[in-house]
Structure 1
Amino acid sequence: MSLLHFSDLSSFLSTAKLDGVKTYMRMRRVPNHLQVKVIKWFDYLWLTQKCSDEEKAVSCLPDKLKAEIAINVHLDTLKRVEIFQNTEAGFLCELVLRLRPVLFSPGDYICRKGEVGKEMYIVNRGRLQVVADNGRTVLATLKAGSYFGEISILNMGTAGRSLGNRRTASVRSVGYSDLFVLSKKDMWDVLKEYPAARVRLEAIAVKRLEKYRRAPLEKGEHFEN
């Protein structure tokens, strides 16, 4: 019996998974518009080759090697974030290991104005819009390399560290968007081991909060949210 090529096996497993999801949605009488959204999501994953499951591909490696790969692949992404520039290399490497990839579909809201923010986002691929309360007026456009939500994780107050700040604007995905998310808790866990980075970020936080009070939203590469 001939062996399946890896790509054929990956395609077979992906198709089987999709068939299972379709069966579940039919049995549970999921609305047609939502079924279409789910199927398109699978199509996007396949087209961007994510259904090969990158994490599983390196899951057999020792933790140290997996960490080194993650650092080499994603460190440049983190270095783009202004607040993390000129910080210790060890601090950045620890943060890279805490980044979590997330995928949003067309029209999905990443966050809404007034919500409590507990994480920041970095755009890896795709396009997002910062929209006004009416949902129609576009205040800013965010592309690959943009980031937002840093105010949420820079809040220095004790209560703020656990609760976060309120989001100052709503952010919506235009098409499919790949983002990295960094939680407030993860960043502060890392900062315990890097006091110099903590002092620097505390100083940045004071300046950012003062800047936000003067101009709540700036168009451009990023905005404080």
Structure 2
Amino acid sequence: MDHFAEYSGVVLMILVGAFGLFGHWLACMWFAIGINTICNEDGNLTAHNWLVRFSVDTSQEYILLEDCVLTYGPSHLDAYLAALYFVMSSLTSVGFGNIAPYSPYEQSFSVVVLIFGALLYAMIFGNVTTIISQIYADMNRYHDSLNSVREFARFNSVPQNIEARIMDFMVTTWQQTKGIDTNAVINLCPKDLKADICVHLHRRVFNGHRCFLEASDACLRSLALEFQTIHVSAGDIVYHKGEYVDEVSFVARGILEVLQDGEVIAVLSNGDAFGDNVWRRPLSHGPAKCVVYIRALSFTDIHVIKRASLKKVLGFYNDYAKSFDRELKLAVNVCESVHFRKIKRRKPKLNAADSVKGGISSILGKGSLLKSGA
């Protein structure tokens, strides 16, 4: 039960099944009490018996033969269903009186059933209420987040376009992550397990770039612990022109466009790397300045590693650092401007016939000018 406690549907089915099983066992006991006390000491049918009263109410009266042998009467199925009905009504309430205990044995059993039913009903259906509330807990948390955004925007007079972007980001992120805080889950784990989880989460980056092929398992685990994942909605700006850049970014999913002077100079998609050659710049030097805009065209997952973290790992794994520097090719270096060269239009070459026609036209032109001058 504890192992499957997080599965609300399974726990709910187990509790309902347990309630039905207890009801079946008690119904069998109630039927056994009725069938074993149906005859009195004189060997006759007793009137203080729930089975006898039930047979009379259903016009299926028992006929007693010798040695307290019964014939006719309700079938075993009808008697069991009546017993189950009595037990279930006693477990969930105080019964309805249509099937009631008459003999001291039946009354004593009914008292036990009522006490046990009160405890069982409180335990099982109390857990059912908790499980149902847990099922809607995530949805309630989602709506609470949206309400918090609306209240924040109203209290701070946030412009509608910014509020719409916040709402779009919240909704899109919830659809992708289901409200799970990845960092909170990872931080609960020990270092070894945390590294395994991070390697799995960043596997698209490690498998999609040649610069990570020669890295050892220990090196990949160290790199994975330093990576961060950011989610960007469509229309959001990843880099603004003039911002400092101190990391390398890898696109795991989505599409980005690179804008320079209002024109699209590149489009980034899955597997592309962008940023700056930060692993070549000493930590004593400040970060470089971004000269372009990078804007998301769709919901995008970007894996980012900072310069200090990258240089720390590469400084420890010196042999791998050379391979990393050689193999990593940035699709776009956001700190370097792209210069476009204007292509001059060349005059078309004339063939021999066009040259002759041109010469004749020039001669005729000169002749007409001389004639007019004379």
Runs of 4+ in 1 over 6 A off after TM superposition: none
Q: In the alignment, which of 221, 225, 234 is matched to residue 106 of structure 1? A: 234
Please list, as runs of the form range in 1=range in 2, the aligned pairs for 1:52-201 lying within 5 A after superposition: 52-134=180-262, 137-151=263-277, 153-157=278-282, 159-160=284-285, 163-201=286-324
Q: How many residues align?
A: 206
- In terms of Rg, which structure is larger? 2
Question: Residue 78 of structure 1: CA displacement?
Answer: 2.6
Question: Residue 59 of structure 1: CA displacement?
Answer: 4.5
Q: Hey, what's the Cα distance between the residues in 1 that align with 2:266 and 2:236?
A: 16
Q: Hey, what's the Cα distance between the residues in 1 that align with 2:236 and 2:201?
A: 27
With normalisation by structure 2, the TM-score equals: 0.50
CA contact (8 A) 1:10 1:52 kept: no
Taking only aligned residues, the RMSD between alpha carbons, in angstroms, comes to: 2.5
Unaligned 5+ segments in structure 2 are 1-125, 335-374
With normalisation by structure 1, the TM-score equals: 0.79
Query: Greater shift after overlay, 11-20 or 166-175?
Result: 166-175
Determine whether 1:18 maps to 2:146: yes
CA contact (8 A) 1:154 1:201 kept: no
Q: Which structure has greater helix proportion? A: 2
Give the secondary structure class of the aligned counterpart of 1:77. Answer: helix
Q: Hey, what's the Cα distance between the residues in 1 that align with 2:252 and 2:230?
A: 10
Classify 1:158/1:45 alpha carbon distance in 2 versus 1 (closer, same or farther; 3 Å): closer
Classify 1:184/1:79 alpha carbon distance in 2 versus 1 (closer, same or farther; 3 Å): farther
Name the aligned partner's letter for residue 171 of structure 2. D
Q: Hey, what's the Cα distance between the residues in 1 that align with 2:169 and 2:144?
A: 15
CA contact (8 A) 2:195 2:222 kept: no
CA contact (8 A) 1:75 1:92 kept: no
Q: Which structure has greater strand proportion? A: 1
Classify 1:93/1:61 alpha carbon distance in 2 versus 1 (closer, same or farther; 3 Å): closer
Deviations 1:51-98 (A, max 9, x none): 132333454432321221221232342342343332333222211111
Classify 1:71/1:120 alpha carbon distance in 2 versus 1 (closer, same or farther; 3 Å): same
How high is the sequence identity, in percent, across the aligned residues? 21
Deviations 1:157-204 (A, max 9, x none): 4544xx133335331111222211111011012123212123444566
Give the secondary structure class of the aligned counterpart of 1:97. Answer: helix
Give the secondary structure class of the aligned counterpart of 2:249. Answer: strand
Unaligned 5+ segments in structure 1 are 209-220
